[in-house]
């Protein structure tokens, strides 16, 4: 299955990326003059967080787990010097619910990380991905 994306230069160091379903995101450099969007390398971390979030919510819903919230924080350490690839990425899950089973949460995260998340599968070849989770009981 082929996926498509188009990146269009707007001005200076500002670009808009559009996917095959016409959803868009603004990208830019991080200096004050251009800082209107995310940097492409930061967007990669957002993509990982979004991919695994989607999986975890979907898996927990299928298990009928009483999920009320999920926050995923992704931290990446880049190698110094161009092209500055990510070598270490840490994913922290803050899972909220009423009486959530630790096993259900751990299994959902592991399934996403090891089986379902295409972004993690792509990055795994060049970066070590670690994770941790915290369950906040809202009973």
What's CA 74's distance to the chain center, in Å? 7
Q: How far apart are CA 71 and CA 90, in angstroms?
A: 14
At residue 35, does pLDDT exceed 80? no
Are the CB atoms for 63 and 104 separated by under 8 Å?
Answer: yes
Burial (CB count within 10 angstroms: exposed 0-12, middle 13-18, buried 19+), residue 23: exposed
> pTM value?
0.93
Question: What are the beta bridge partners of residue 16?
Answer: 8, 26
* pLDDT of amino acid 20: 94
At residue 31, does pLDDT exceed 90? no
Categorize the per-residue pLDDT at 66 as very low, low, confident or very high, splitting at 50, 70 and 90. Answer: very high
Sign of CA dihedral 64, 96, 74, 39: positive
At residue 43, does pLDDT exceed 70? yes
* pLDDT of amino acid 9: 96
Q: How far apart are CA 15 and CA 132, in angstroms?
A: 34
Percent of the chain topping pLDDT 70: 99
């Amino acid at each position: 299955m082929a996926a498509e994306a188009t990146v269009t230069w707007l001005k200076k160091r500002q670009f808009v990326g559009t996917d095959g379903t016409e959803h868009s995101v603004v990208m830019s450099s991080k200096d004050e003059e251009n800082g209107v969007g995310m940097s492409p390398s930061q967007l990669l971390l957002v993509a990982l967080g979004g991919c695994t979030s989607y999986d975890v919510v979907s898996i927990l819903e299928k298990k009928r787990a009483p999920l009320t919230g999920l926050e995923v924080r992704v931290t990446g350490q880049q190698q110094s010097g161009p092209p500055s690839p990510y070598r270490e990425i840490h994913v922290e899950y803050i899972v909220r619910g009423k009486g959530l089973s630790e096993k259900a949460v751990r299994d959902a995260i592991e399934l996403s990380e090891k089986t379902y998340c295409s972004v993690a599968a792509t990055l795994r070849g060049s970066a070590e991905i670690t994770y941790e989770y915290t369950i906040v009981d809202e009973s």
